[in-house]
A and B are shown apart, each in its own frame.
Chain A
Amino acid sequence: GENVEQHPSTLSVQEGDSAVIKCTYSDSASNYFPWYKQELGKRPQLIIDIRSNVGEKKDQRIAVTLNKTAKHFSLHITETQPEDSAVYFCAAFGNQFYFGTGTSLTVIP
């Protein structure tokens, strides 16, 4: 089956700086890659996704890049704000969703 690895497990940045979270996957058949944000005590919520026929997608301060050849995809958050502090999960869909172990992001005011 698919194996998704996510790094780093924890990340601290100063407010206004950028944050980058990276994921790798093993199954070349995976074709859909969503990112979820989970605040403490709340549900995981989709923040951005990308399909295998696209290399990059942006939504305001958030962007995702996909390198199919290398089988990795990354989440980029620019101009970070304290409300960006949360756990972020990547996922890859082949025949089902496979999740990374999460990155705990702390934005220091």
Chain B
Amino acid sequence: ETGVTQTPRHLVMGMTNKKSLKCEQHLGHNAMYWYKQSAKKPLELMFVYNFKEQTENNSVPSRFSPECPNSSHLFLHLHTLQPEDSALYLCASSQDPDRGRSPLHFGNGTRLTVT
């Protein structure tokens, strides 16, 4: 299945590094999302883009910076992260985000480790 593709699959970075996560969706959806998945916690919504416009920023620290150049691509730029930011970062897309008429389609995620 190639609906939502994320790269890289794994990333190890030091606290002073700068890196970016990439997501691409081939489903023709209008909205794209970043979620953080940590052990024993619910999926945490970070950012939502609807038709390239950011519609949600869930009080995410500024060391995470999203970018959505078009409806098919989404980036998450990372800088000066903390060890507690280590987690699985999932990208998702959906067709009709405001009305909840369609489910989220997830990518395989990027496993991030901050050392």
Contact = CB atoms under 8 A, between A and B. Distances in A.
B48 A96 contact: yes
B42 A100 contact: yes
A48 B41 CA distance: 22
A9 B73 CA distance: 34
Contact of A99 (B40, B42, B105, B107): B42
Chain A: number of interface residues, binned into ranges: 20 to 34
Contacts of A34: 103-104
B92 to A, nearest CB: 8
Contacts of B41: 101
Contact of A96 (B56, B90, B101): B56
Chain B: number of interface residues, binned into ranges: 10 to 19
A20 interface: no
B9 to A, nearest CB: 9
A39 B45 CA distance: 20
A41 B108 CA distance: 8
Given A96-B45, A96-B56, A31 B108 contact: no
B100 A4 contact: no
A32 B113 CA distance: 34
Given A45-B106, A98-B42, 5 more contacts: A9-B40, A32-B100, A46-B104, A93-B100, A99-B43
